Amino acid sequence: MILEHEFYPPEFKYSSKKPIINLPIPKRVVMLMQQHTGAQAQPTVKAGATVIKGQVIGDSPSYIFAPIHSSISGIVKSISPWFHPMLGREMASITIEANGNTDEILLSPLNYPITPDEVRLRAREAGLVGQGGAAFPTHVKLNPTKPIEYAIINGAECEPFLTVDHRQMLENPEKLISGLKLIMLAVGAKKGLIAIEDNKKDAINLLIEMVRQTSDIRVFVLPSKYPQGAEKVMIKTIIGKEVPRGGLPLDVGVVVSNVSTAISLTEAVFEGKVFTEKVITISGDAVNEAINVKVHLGVMVKDVINNLVEFSDSYSRLIMGGPMTGFSQATLEVPIIKGTSGLLFLKKTRFQEAADCIRCGRCVLNCPLRLMPAYIASNTKLGDYSMAEFYGASDCFECGKCSYVCPANIPLVHYVKVAKTELFKIKMTSSKS
Ligand code: SF4
Ligand code: SF4
Three-state SS annotation for the chain? CCCCCCCCCCCCCCCCCCCCEECCCCCEEEEECCCCCCCCCEECCCCCCEECECCEEEECCCCCCCCEECCCCEEEEEEEEEECCCCCCEEEEEEEEECCCCCECCCCCCCCCCCHHHHHHHHHHCCCECCCCCCCEHHHHCCCCCCCCEEEEEECCCCCCCCHHHHHHHHCHHHHHHHHHHHHHHHCCCEEEEEEECCCHHHHHHHHHHCCCCCCEEEEEECCCCCCCCHHHHHHHHHCCCCCCCCCHHHHCEEEEEHHHHHHHHHHHHHCCCCCEEEEEEECCCECCCEEEEEECCCEHHHHHCCCCCECCCCCEEEECCCCCCEEECCCCCECCCCCCEEEEECHHHCCCCCCCCCCCHHHHHCCCCCCHHHHHHHHHCCCHHHHHHCCHHHCCCCCHHHHHCCCCCCHHHHHHHHHHHHHHHHHHHHHC
CB neighbourhood size of 63 (10 A): 12
Quick one: 340 and 366 in the same domain? no
* CA–centroid distance, residue 366 to ligand 1 (Å): 8
Q: What is the pTM of this model?
A: 0.91
Does residue 153 share a domain with residue 276?
yes
The residue from 326, 351, 376 where one domain ends is 351
Atom of ligand 1 nearest to the CA of 392: 7
pLDDT at 312: 83
Domain identity same for 332 and 395: no
- Determine, yes or no, domain membership for 178: yes
Q: Is residue 39 part of a domain?
A: no
* Pair 319, 406 in one domain: no
20 lines ligand 2 (CB under 6 A): no
Distance (angstroms) between ligand 1 centre and the Cα of 400 equals 6
Judgement on whether residues 337 and 392 belong to the same structural domain of the protein: no
- Please check whether residue 80 lies inside any domain of the structure: no
* Same domain for 262 and 201: yes
214 assigned to some structural domain = yes
- What is the per-residue pLDDT for 397? 87
Q: Does residue 57 lie within any of the structural domains?
A: no
5 and 137, same structural domain? yes
Q: Are residues 366 and 341 in the same domain?
A: no
Ligand 2, atom 8: closest residue by C-alpha: 357
State whether 402 and 306 are in the same domain.
no
Instruction: Identify whether 63 is part of a domain.
Output: no
Length of the chain: 433
Ligand 1 contacts CB of residue 397 (under 6 A): yes
- 286, part of any domain: yes
Domain hosting 239: range is 1-22+104-351
Give 409 Cα–ligand 2 centroid separation in angstroms. Answer: 8
Residue 244 and residue 221 share a domain: yes
Domain count, the chain: 2
pLDDT per residue rounded down to tens, the chain (433 residues): 656 666 777 889 999 999 999 999 999 999 999 999 889 999 999 999 999 999 999 999 999 999 999 999 999 999 999 999 988 789 999 999 999 999 999 999 999 999 999 999 999 999 999 998 779 999 999 999 999 999 999 999 999 999 999 999 999 999 999 999 999 999 999 999 999 999 999 999 999 999 999 999 999 999 998 888 889 999 999 999 999 988 899 999 999 999 999 999 999 999 999 999 999 999 999 999 999 999 999 999 999 999 899 988 777 789 999 988 888 899 999 999 999 999 999 986 555 678 999 999 999 999 988 899 999 999 999 999 999 999 999 999 889 999 989 999 998 998 998 898 888 878 777 766 5
| C-alpha 43 to ligand 2 mean position (Å) | 43
Domain identity same for 291 and 346: yes
CATH assignment at residue 235: 3.40.50.11540
**Residue 421: per-residue pLDDT:** 82
CB of 367 shorter than 6 A to ligand 1? yes
* pLDDT score recorded for residue 408: 94
For residue 91, which phi and psi values (nearest 5 degrees)?
-155, 145
285 and 389 housed in the same domain: no
pLDDT at 332: 95
- Position 35 scores a pLDDT of 93
Kindly identify the ligand whose nearest atom is closest to the C-alpha of 420: 1
Last residue of a domain, one of 351, 386, 416: 351
In a domain, 422, yes or no: yes
- For residue 369, how far is its CA from the centre of ligand 1 (angstroms)? 7
Q: Largest Cα–Cα distance in the chain?
A: 61
Among candidate residues 289, 320, 351, the one where a domain is terminated: 351
Ligand with smallest separation from the Cα of 373: 1
